[in-house]
Amino acid sequence: MSDQTVILGMGFKSDAPLFALENAARAACDTTGLVPDVIATLTSKVGHPPFIALAEKLNARIIALAPDDIRGVPTPTASQRIQALFGTGSVAEAVAIAAIPGATLQESRKVSTDNTTTATATAALALAPRKTDK
């Protein structure tokens, strides 16, 4: 067992299909070779059936964060629209960082390539110290 928890942070549109979420997740994971232990997103998105299906496929525990949990979280990439809506530059990066205290971003957001005009999903990876019970 690793001494770190791998966090997959996801941001996505409300109509994002499973293949878009998988595409973004694969892009983030393939770059690093990391396999997520947890998958995080906003509370408003946590019930999205494709998100739940992705968590099940990855055998990853779900962490839901409120918009206030990510407000002000600095991210290496930035969308003006996301900044205006959530007070952070990237939902995927911010939820990955904020999901577990002490998490550090390992892979900045990767964008799904399911649509050539607009992305429907983004994913980022962070690592956090694994809690040990003693």
116 pLDDT above the threshold of 60: no
Please compute the mean of the pLDDT values over residues 36-63 and round it to a whole number.
Answer: 97
128 pLDDT above the threshold of 70: yes
82 pLDDT above the threshold of 90: yes
7 Cβ partners below 8 Å, 6+ apart? 36, 37, 38, 39, 40, 63, 96, 99, 100, 103, 125, 126, 127, 128
pLDDT of residue 117: 56
Element (DSSP H or E) covering residue 105:
strand 104-111
pLDDT of residue 104: 96
Task: Look at residues 115, 109, 101 and name the one whose alpha carbon lies nearest to residue 27.
Answer: 109
Domain 4-129 has CATH 3.30.420.180: yes
117 Cβ partners below 8 Å, 6+ apart? none
Percent residues over pLDDT 90 in the chain: 82
Residue 119 — very low, low, confident or very high, per pLDDT cuts 50/70/90?
low
Tokens in use for 22? 């998988």
pLDDT of residue 131: 73
Please compute the mean of the pLDDT values over residues 99-118 and round it to a whole number.
Answer: 85
Task: Look at residues 9, 131, 117, 118 and name the one whose alpha carbon lies nearest to residue 70.
Answer: 9
**E-assigned strand segments in 30-103:** 38-42, 61-65
